[in-house]
């Protein structure tokens, strides 16, 4: 008990100075959401409990998904099927969705299975849960993302208002309509550092391995701008900023196309400027992948591996080949 009180005071002091709009942190970290002190409430023993760390559920995935599976309308749903964003333009959140824990998810990250980490030097076998990527007690990062997800001593700060911009903060206390507005993909603009965060685990992508400079790479480059290599340009900045034609949705006469893919705006100073398409925009992991997963194989934003309509839509937005 003493430990809990000390921890509580520690967290309260540590996080009370942080900006609003973050959940599971400081005053928004309601211990009862996730812990039960004696595995008994109103005289009722917690079925199967007590669990490690006095948690309400037997595993972290089960615990987090008990609210984030769509059953709690104020909690952003991250488990397929997700329909809470159907009224928004993209119909999805920033991160997208998972398959149930224990299922091999070919459409993104799999939860609760021991799998090899692809594109990692040490090719470690990892069993992913929510705490592999999120700080369960919150931290100062965007979405409480861990500073050091690979446990190698990184300290990657991804700060809302600096590296990422959001327009509408969630309601306090949380509401279902507020969660839709705050967490849908359209409410997020990117500026920097996201690729580095993903590449903490997928460290083979940590740098753009050059082949023949100035503009040849041994893997798709990230954090490179569309207009970066004037002498040997492979991208089509004009097509990208125009936003019409091959790859783009809403083009008169076109039958397919997708929403503009996310990009990092190196020049952004606020939400509005982060969303403004410019020649200097950079491609990053999130231009092609959802963080949790989505509709398509390998969590790609368009059906690149499936083929058919739109299978190169995202590529065409930047390259127009």
Pick one of 15, 62, 75, 141: the residue that binds ligand HEC (CB under 6 A): 75
Pick one of 99, 259, 261, 268: the residue that binds ligand HEC (CB under 6 A): 261
Q: Is 72 in the site for ligand HEC (CB under 6 A)?
A: yes
Closest by CA to 159, choosing from 181, 131, 130, 191, is: 191
Two tokens, residue 276: 């403004």
For the segment 35-54, give every residue that binds ligand HEC (CB under 6 A): 35, 53
Q: Are 243 and 277 in contact (CB under 8 A)?
A: yes
Q: Segment contacting ligand HEC (CB under 6 A): 22-30, 40-48, 250-258, 266-274?
A: 22-30
Q: Which one, 73 or 273, has the nearer CB to ligand HEC?
A: 73
Residues 6+ apart with CB under 8 A from 143: 94, 95, 134
Q: Is 283 in the site for ligand HEC (CB under 6 A)?
A: yes
Tell me the torsion sign for CA atoms 44, 48, 50, 55: negative
Pick one of 62, 80, 110, 258: the residue that binds ligand HEC (CB under 6 A): 110
Q: How far is the CB of 157 from ligand HEC (least distance, A)?
A: 14
Q: How far is the CB of 155 from ligand HEC (least distance, A)?
A: 14
Q: Is 180 in the site for ligand HEC (CB under 6 A)?
A: no
Pick one of 192, 292, 295, 296: the residue that binds ligand HEC (CB under 6 A): 292
Two tokens, residue 163: 């590296």
Pick one of 36, 298, 311, 320: the residue that binds ligand HEC (CB under 6 A): 298
Size of the site for ligand HEC (CB under 6 A): 102
Q: Is 80 in the site for ligand HEC (CB under 6 A)?
A: no
Site string for ligand HEC, 115-134 (x = CB under 6 A): x-xxx------x-x-xxxxx
Two tokens, residue 134: 């999120």
Closest by CA to 144, choosing from 5, 33, 51, 18, is: 18
Site string for ligand HEC, 193-232 (x = CB under 6 A): --x--xxxxx--x-----x---xxx--xxx-x-x-xx---
For the segment 87-106, give every residue that binds ligand HEC (CB under 6 A): 93-95, 98, 106
Q: How far is the CB of 21 from ligand HEC (least distance, A)?
A: 6
Q: Is 271 in the site for ligand HEC (CB under 6 A)?
A: no
Q: How far is the CB of 164 from ligand HEC (least distance, A)?
A: 7
Given the structure tokens 């039958």, which residue do they identify? 255
C-alpha dihedral (295, 297, 301, 306), degrees to nearest 10: -100
Start-to-end CA span in the chain (Å): 64
Q: How far is the CB of 45 from ligand HEC (least distance, A)?
A: 20
Given the structure tokens 């965007």, which residue do they identify? 142
Q: Is 187 in the site for ligand HEC (CB under 6 A)?
A: no
Contacts of 110-116 with CB under 8 Å at 24 or more apart are 111/61, 112/59, 112/61
Cα–Cα distance between 22 and 165 in angstroms, integer?
A: 13
Cα–Cα distance between 81 and 109 in angstroms, integer?
A: 15
SS3 55: strand
The distance of Cα 255 from the centroid of its chain, to the nearest Å, equals 29
């Amino acid at each position: 008990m003493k430990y809990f009180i000390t921890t509580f005071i520690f967290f309260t002091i540590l996080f009370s100075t942080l900006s609003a709009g973050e959940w599971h942190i400081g005053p928004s970290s309601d211990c009862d959401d996730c812990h039960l002190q004696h595995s008994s409430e109103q005289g009722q023993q917690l079925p199967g409990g007590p669990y490690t760390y006095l948690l309400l559920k037997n595993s972290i995935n089960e615990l987090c998904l008990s609210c984030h599976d769509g059953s709690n309308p104020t909690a952003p749903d991250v488990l397929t099927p997700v329909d809470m964003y159907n009224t928004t333009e993209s119909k999805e959140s920033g991160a997208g969705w998972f398959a149930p824990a224990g299922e091999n998810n070919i459409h993104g990250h799999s939860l609760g299975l021991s799998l090899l980490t692809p594109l990692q030097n040490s090719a470690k076998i990892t069993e992913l849960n929510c705490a592999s990527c999120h700080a369960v007690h919150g931290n100062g990062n965007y979405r409480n993302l861990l500073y050091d997800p690979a446990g190698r001593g990184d300290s990657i700060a991804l700060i809302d208002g600096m590296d990422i911009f959001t327009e509408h903060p969630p309601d306090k206390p949380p509401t279902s309509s507020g969660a839709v507005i705050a967490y849908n993909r359209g409410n997020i603009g990117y500026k920097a550092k996201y690729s580095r965060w993903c590449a903490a685990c997928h460290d083979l992508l940590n740098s753009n391995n050059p082949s023949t400079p100035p503009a040849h790479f041994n893997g798709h480059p990230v954090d490179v701008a569309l207009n970066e290599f004037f002498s040997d340009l492979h991208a089509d900045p004009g097509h990208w900023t125009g936003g019409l034609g091959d790859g783009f949705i809403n083009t008169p006469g076109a039958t397919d196309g997708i929403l503009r893919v996310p990009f990092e705006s190196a020049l952004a100073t606020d939400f509005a400027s982060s969303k403004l398409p410019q020649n200097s925009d950079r491609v990053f992991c999130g231009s092609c992948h959802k963080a949790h997963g989505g509709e398509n194989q390998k969590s790609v934003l368009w059906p690149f591996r499936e083929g058919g309509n739109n299978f190169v839509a995202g590529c065409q937005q930047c390259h127009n080949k």
